[in-house]
Amino acid sequence: MIERPELQRSSGRDAAALLFFAVAAVALSWPMAASLSESVSLRGDYFINLWNFWWMKSSALEAGTSPYFTEALFHPLGVSLARHTLSPLNSFFGAVLSDPLGPHGAFNFLLLIHSALSGWTFYLLASRLTGSRAGALFAGCMWAFNPYHAFYMAQMNVSTLEFLPLAAYFMVSLWRTGSRSAGLGVILSAGLLAATSFYYLVYVAFLGGLLLVGGRSVAPDVSFATGARRLLPFGIASAFLVVLVAWPMVAAILGAEPPVESATAVGDLARQSLRSNDLLGFAWVGPPERLIVSWPTMFGYTALVMLLVGVVALRQRVAWLVAAGAFFLLSLGPELQVGGQVTGVTLPYAWLSELPVFSMLRKPDRFFVLVEFFIALLCAQAWVSISARLRSSVLRRALGCLAVLALCAEFSMAPLRVHVLPVSPLLEDLAATGAKSLVDLPLYGGGPFDARSNHAQTFHGLAIPSGYVTNLALTEEHRSNASKWKRADALLDRGDASRITSLMESQGVDLVVLHATVPVRRAPSSADGLLVWSPFSLSEAGLVEMRQRGHLEEQLVPLSEWTTRRQTLIDALGEPLVEDERIAVFRRP
């Protein structure tokens, strides 16, 4: 039994660790915390998240309706969001925070919260497994601030990394003690994962399976039978809660939508090489750039020194090392790539990706999270080995602080580039026109090119016949209707608005918003094809910028083309209802 003074000291240290991770999250991503009106990304995934915030507010918080279906996109069909990356818990808090902070501020604030909590929950797990708070602090920094976060910064569901180590923490506690409170923690963690990231929910299932197989590595005195008896009932209860929380997705998988999943999975095979890591490093895809960021850069040279000096710990935790190797192999995708070249060697992921549920894990590079998970734990254990050789407590504290600060400096993104997104002030006035729907032109038939329509909708709130959602959410009917609009839009360049007006009439679209800019594919930068070995803090500016710029950029429509398109719409619909340097709005008679 822990005495009360010791319990108080432990709680105080844990609270101090949380404060440390909060300060580190702000400092290592500065000026994100001070840029509440600015964007950290220009990717379509970022605009999806801002749209998610808006839609959660419009549906669940204001109208009291389910957020899992929307008539705001792909009008007049509407679209199911059961498979869309809605990340409902993140979207809920994003919706609540958008009023006081603005949508960009809400996004930035949530990113900072996730970074701080990710480090802290991993710290709790590592300290429980190794008994070293200094080692756990180092491991928490590895988990919370490694370059993977910079890569997936625009995707809120992928940036929510705190619940995976939290689930592992409670599973280990449950395996060791059989505590009911630990079991309830497992259930709660599973529910939180189901409400934020399907990927990490599957990863936690992997960790649960590993605990069943290798429980002796974390609790030598607990037999398999005892551990399984403690873990399985709460695992089953967790599965029930997951089904309850994620029922729209579960119903879609079990209902009429599996052909959509299968067709999309097959179509994604051609892109798997972009979503797989390389034997030499992490596949850092812009696109259009494709770089390989070496494993030392991704793990951190400071961490590698820690493992090298404390190599004795690796022999003590062979099971963790084997697990890291297994997930590293899965992160390489279906075919082995070396230096950006596909070798034709088939890897285990090719088999795994054909299984039900796992076929939705379309990005094998994300298995790097589990590699980092075990490498970070090994670093914490390595510090135990190193500190045991140091007789002076002052020296231990000094070296521990130095190691943590060195790793943070190596992983720092400061100064992080932020972006101002220009938006026509007229968009907010369109709702007052009495219109119910509009079409943005040029239109591209869905996908990242139409992400700006999602963003614009958060200002005007009117239904649109296209938009950008996760591929798995779309059916052939959606794609076909969006393509009709795309073909009709192309005719404007020839001075023909007949198909536009016909579609507006048949589908009840009230307004046309003609944009003076167009998203186009940008050219690759000179960094394309490089293998990056330098520490992350020395290369992060270029890496983060090319990733978060995305593969599109806004360019002005050529003047002759703009003149033709604008005049064609005037001839068909009359003079613009409103107009500025960014948009011209026309109304159906």
Residue 427 in contact with residue 502, Cβ under 8 Å?
no
Q: Which one, of 262, 296, 278, 309, lies nearest residue 403 by Cα?
A: 309
In which band, very low, low, confident or very high, does the pLDDT at 6 lie, cut at 50, 70 and 90?
A: low
pLDDT at position 561 over 80: yes
Condensed to tens digits (0 to 9), the pLDDT of residues 499-508 reads: 999 999 999 9
So what's the pLDDT on residue 269? 52
pLDDT digits (tens, 9 = 90+) for 302-355: 999 999 999 988 888 999 999 999 999 999 999 999 998 999 999 999 888 777
Q: Please give the average per-residue pLDDT across 520-539, as a whole number.
A: 90
Q: 3-class DSSP state for residue 150?
A: helix
CB-based burial label for 393 (10 Å; 0-12, 13-18, 19+): exposed
Give the pLDDT band (50/70/90) at residue 23.
Answer: very high
pTM across the whole model: 0.94
Q: Omega before 103 cis (within 30°)?
A: no
Three-state SS letters, 185-253: HHHHHHHHHHCCCHHHHHHHHHHHHHHHHHHHHCCCCCCHHHHHHHHHHHHHHHHHHHHHHCHHHHHHH
Q: Is the pLDDT of residue 259 over 90?
A: no
241, two tokens: 């809660």
pLDDT of residue 107: 98
For 240, residues 6+ apart whose C-beta sits below 8 A from its C-beta are none
Average pLDDT over all residues of the chain: 91
pLDDT of res. 9? 65
Q: How confident is the model at residue 264 (pLDDT cuts 50, 70, 90)?
A: very low
Q: How confident is the model at residue 265 (pLDDT cuts 50, 70, 90)?
A: very low
Note whether 192 and 204 are within 8 A (CB). no
Q: How far is residue 423's CA from residue 85's CA, in Å, rounded to a whole number?
A: 25
Least confident of 2-11, 37-46, 432-441: 2-11
Q: What is the pLDDT of residues 111-143, one digit of tens each?
A: 999 999 999 999 999 999 999 999 999 999 999
pLDDT of residue 258: 46
pLDDT reported for residue 198: 86
Q: Which tokens go with 387? A: 């500190």
Element (H, E) at 409: helix 393-411
Radius of gyration (C-alpha) of the chain in whole angstroms? 25
Give pLDDT, residue 443.
86
Q: Which residue is listed with tokens 């999270």?
A: 369
What tens digit of pLDDT does each residue of 169-199 get? 999 999 999 999 999 999 999 999 999 998 8
- Tens-digit pLDDT profile for residues 186-243: 999 999 999 999 889 999 999 999 999 988 889 999 999 999 999 999 999 999 999 9
Residue 134 neighbours by CB under 8 Å, 6+ apart = 383, 387, 396, 397, 400, 404
Amino acid at 435: A
